[in-house]
Amino acid sequence: MLFNGVISSNAMKSWTVEAASMPDGSQVELAGWVWDVREVGKIRFIILKDREGVIQLTVKKGDVPQSVWEAAAGLVKEDVILVKGVVKASRIAKSGVEVIPSELRILNKSKPLPIDIWGNVAQTELDARLRYRIVDLKRPESLVIFKASSAAARAIRESLYDRGFIEVFTPKIISTSTEGGADLFPVQYFDVVAYLAQSPQLYKEELTASLERVFEIGPAYRAEKHSTTYHLNEFISVDLEAAFMNYRDVMSILEDVIINVYSRILQVPGVVDMNKEISVPKKPFAVVSYDDALEMLGKKGINVRWGDDIPKEGLEALTGEVGSPFFLVNFPTSLRAFYTMPVEGDPSRSESFDLVIDGVEIVSGATRIHDRKLLENALISRGLNPANFESHLAAYEWGMPPHAGWGLGFYRLLMVMLRRSNIREVVLFPRDRNRLTP
């Protein structure tokens, strides 16, 4: 039918979870997928599933129109159906209600699925689940993960809007390396070779000279050949930068962000089933200096040389000592990127921090250098050529304010909050060295 001249604002279908709390006798329209069918004599029980839950349709010969009885006969799992009917209280149905359909339309038929979405997850390898990801996403647990993901992104933004931050979009195609370090993916950009941005670091710092407080939630790329359960080559980075703040100020903002994210995802049904120990962290988070951390680890027989990264087992041991989350602060300056501000009067240490949750590094941040000469020296001391950073350095002569910021690995945060053992679980279509599809 051609457009009839009026934009419809049809009442949308109800969610199953809404129907479950409707009064006895309510008319309802539902749509979703056949989760299960059982036939007991003259009754066909259909479990209808949508994103929010399941509900029982009770199709009893004689009680429903003959067309409904017949449509119910041929149904198989994952058929897509539309149902109109009446909500009835039920002592048998799990949700306490059943729906007696007056209309049942099959919108699409399903073939047998390539992987099991009803049984025990452990029986299907993660590899197979990711290969058939669009099917795997039908599992109730997957639905919980991606509802939590959306709730987490929303909670982060709300916290930052409230604190005067502006959301920005910076380009992901860049002409040169941002930080002079990690491997980059090359892009053929018309006649020249460009790269995918590994972070919006330099852009966000430059933006503090005008927009003052900015954040971005967007993709970032690292062409590193790692193959761990907590690295990916494309990931979502939450980046924040603020003028007239130091590392303590942005740590304080970060505490509030993390607390808001936990509060919000705890409201997503099913999250507690995935992480039975989850709770909203309390302020202030514990703070451990890098030097103290090395001493604590030494006593436990984990020896880290001053100037070296603390390995994952070290972060886990520290979590055992001080709890979770905790801040690690004042890293050796040489361990951090060139733009990190050294501590005044103790330049071998820096105004830097990591936030560690459940033994995993989730956030890295610091006060940044805002003086051009200091920044040039920091580049040189790391073997980088200031001439390659001239357009960035110029910004430091046109009113660059003192500033600080952090970068948060969005998927890592989700992984620890939902207690997934592999980061790929919380990513719709992960990209790693061997995975470019689906």
Burial class (CB in 10 A: 0-12, 13-18, 19+), 90: middle
Binding residue for a copy of itself, selected from 154, 274, 359, 374, defined by CB under 8 A: 154
Complex with a copy of itself: residue 207 or 423, whichever CB lies closer? 207
Complex with a copy of itself: residue 30 or 315, whichever CB lies closer? 30
Q: Which of residues 407-436 bind a copy of itself (CB under 8 A)?
A: 427-431, 433, 436
Complex with a copy of itself: residue 30 or 317, whichever CB lies closer? 30
Determine whether the annotation assigns residue 157 to a binding site.
no
Determine whether the annotation assigns residue 344 to a binding site.
no
Give the x-and-dash track for 195-234 against a copy of itself (CB under 8 A). Answer: -x------x--xx-xxxxx----xx-x-x-x-------xx
Determine whether the annotation assigns residue 419 to a binding site.
no
In this chain, which stretch among 36-44, 130-138, 307-315, 374-382 interacts with a copy of itself, using CB under 8 A?
130-138
Binding residue for a copy of itself, selected from 65, 74, 169, 181, defined by CB under 8 A: 169
Contacts of 53 (CB under 8 A, 6+ apart): 15, 16, 17, 20, 95, 269
Q: Which of residues 94-113 bind a copy of itself (CB under 8 A)?
A: 107-108, 110-111, 113
- CB-based contact 404:250 (threshold 8 Å): yes
Binding residue for a copy of itself, selected from 28, 75, 329, 357, defined by CB under 8 A: 329
Q: How far is the CB of 209 from a copy of itself (least distance, A)?
A: 6
Complex with a copy of itself: residue 88 or 372, whichever CB lies closer? 372
Contacts of 415 (CB under 8 A, 6+ apart): 230, 360, 422, 423, 425, 426
Say whether residue 336 binds a copy of itself (CB under 8 A).
no
Complex with a copy of itself: residue 61 or 141, whichever CB lies closer? 141
**CA neighbours closer than 13 Å in the CB half-sphere of residue 408:** 28
Across the strands, what pairs with 34?
A: 48
Determine whether the annotation assigns residue 105 to a binding site.
no
Q: How far is the CB of 14 from a copy of itself (least distance, A)?
A: 11
Q: How far is the CB of 362 from a copy of itself (least distance, A)?
A: 16
- CB-based contact 340:350 (threshold 8 Å): yes
Give the x-and-dash track for 13-42 against a copy of itself (CB under 8 A). Answer: x-x---------------x-x---------
Q: Which of residues 45-74 bind a copy of itself (CB under 8 A)?
A: 50-51
Binding residue for a copy of itself, selected from 6, 92, 122, 387, defined by CB under 8 A: 6
Across the strands, what pairs with 243?
A: 403
| Torsional sign, CA 414, 416, 421, 422 | positive
Binding residue for a copy of itself, selected from 60, 61, 88, 172, defined by CB under 8 A: 172
Q: Which of residues 238-257 bind a copy of itself (CB under 8 A)?
A: 243-245, 248-249, 251-252, 255
Q: Which of residues 133-152 bind a copy of itself (CB under 8 A)?
A: 134-135, 137-138, 142-143, 146-147, 149-150
What's the start-to-end Cα distance of the chain, in Å?
Answer: 35
Complex with a copy of itself: residue 146 or 359, whichever CB lies closer? 146
Determine whether the annotation assigns residue 224 to a binding site.
yes
**CA neighbours closer than 13 Å in the CB half-sphere of residue 352:** 25
In this chain, which stretch among 90-98, 273-281, 298-306, 392-400 interacts with a copy of itself, using CB under 8 A?
392-400
Please, what's the largest Cα pairwise distance for the chain? 87
- CB-based contact 88:97 (threshold 8 Å): yes
Written as one letter, the residue type at 276 is K
**Both structure tokens of 424:** 């790929």
DSSP secondary structure, 145-206, as one string: HHHHHHHHHHHHHHHHHHTT-EE----SEESS-SSS-S---EEEETTEEEEE-S-SHHHHHH
Across the strands, what pairs with 342?
A: 350
Among the listed residues 258, 202, 256, 179, the one whose alpha carbon sits nearest the alpha carbon of residue 403:
202
Q: Which of residues 297-326 bind a copy of itself (CB under 8 A)?
A: none
Q: In this structure, are strands 192-196 and 213-221 parallel, antiparallel, or unpaired? A: unpaired
Decide: helix, strand or coil at residue 346.
strand
In this chain, which stretch among 39-47, 86-94, 167-175, 258-266 interacts with a copy of itself, using CB under 8 A?
167-175
Determine whether the annotation assigns residue 368 to a binding site.
yes
Complex with a copy of itself: residue 91 or 111, whichever CB lies closer? 111
Binding-site size for a copy of itself (CB under 8 A) equals 119
**Both structure tokens of 383:** 């073997």
Complex with a copy of itself: residue 88 or 390, whichever CB lies closer? 390
Q: Which string of b and e fits 229-252 if b means at least 16 CB within 10 Å?
A: ebbbbbbbbbbbbbbebbbeebbe
**Both structure tokens of 371:** 């003086």
Say whether residue 186 binds a copy of itself (CB under 8 A).
yes
Residue 417's CB is within 10 A of a number of other CB atoms, namely 24
Annotated binding site: 179, 222-224, 361, 364, 368, 409-412
